[in-house]
Structure 1
Amino acid sequence: MYSTTSSLKFLSLLIFAFAIVQITRAGDPDILSDFIVPPNVIPDGNFFTNTNFRVIVPPNQPPSTFKVLKASKAEFPALDGQSVSYAVLQFPAGSINPPHTHPRSAELLLVAGGSLQVGFVDTTNKLFTQNLQAGDMFIFPKGLVHFQHNADANNPAMAISAFGSASAGTVVIPSTLFNTTIDDNVLALAFKTNVSTIQALKKGFAP
């Protein structure tokens, strides 16, 4: 069970209210209407409401493996054209969100419970890392490879991420490289290794 207090929840909401205003300035293209409604949908209050994050409220227990709960355009159609989305990242003890990128948005992460080691690599190959505690924030610049790791072997962690796009996109580096049909020879040359090593890596990412 997470040790998130009511005051931290209020602080989280307050911080993210200001953060969303800032991060959306470089978000999706402006729309020419108040909001976008899918065909054959008559909007009411329910259209602008999403309850998917209720499952994270105590006393619910954290998942057994790393899990992401998203509120993007795909899960919450009312976000279309609004240049905002959220994700809740749930980390069991010792788990990782592997290196990945968001091609259409920066990510502002707030640790809501536990602790996380985070980092990103810029275009000069410089690594920026930090150890975060509950209440800390960290910004991952748009499009750069980054990761989060719960290094605590005994306790879970949880984080909330805000994006300046209704569909930030996620490219997970390991699975993109080793769980697709990129030719083994191409990967072997790229990683300066042999085909048998590449094939062994691919087996680890097979469905």
Structure 2
Amino acid sequence: MSTSQRIETELSQIAPRLRSARRKKNITLEQLAHTTGISKSTLSRLESGQRRPSLELLLPVVAALDVPFDQIVAPPRTQDPRVTPKTTRADGRTFTRLSGKSGEPQAFKITILPTEREPVVRSHSGYEWIYVLDGRLRLVLGEHDIVLGAGEVAEFDTANPHWFGCAGSDPVEILSLFGAHGERMHVRARTAAKRAQSPRA
């Protein structure tokens, strides 16, 4: 269940909690309306779920009923935030998923082994953010062919033809965040002068 669904579920419980608390106090809708200054019809719709609860309505009602606020409005239960990493391997790359299966962006730690093959660029919808953890990463993106070192970052629209892998004979380790929605391309790496001087694999 998503966060928005849990919130909606929790909101739907407010109406019966209000009605139950009022009845336990043996207070009529007329009496509650007189105490709070909220009309009886509004209170009735609030208790039946026909009126969406708001703080403006709930605070005076809860005060008049003399009950704890969290007895009426309990915070949504949160799920265990821990993610169990799942590792897969393909084409000399080790992918460790660091995020849950649903939602965006998806986070991966990727270890890439050096290869003798030439880069094969590809494009697809989405947006990717890459942070180099260790080693040197070669990124081919459109007309750019750059090398990123540890601590450097690149982000780009994956609709642009791209490829990334090892820059040299040593493995490289990166952190990758990927989202399905493309955005305007923006690359943060070295200066143009340093790019021109960077060695290529």
Common topology (TM > 0.5): no
Structure with greater Cα Rg: 2
TM-score (norm 1): 0.43
TM-score (norm 2): 0.44
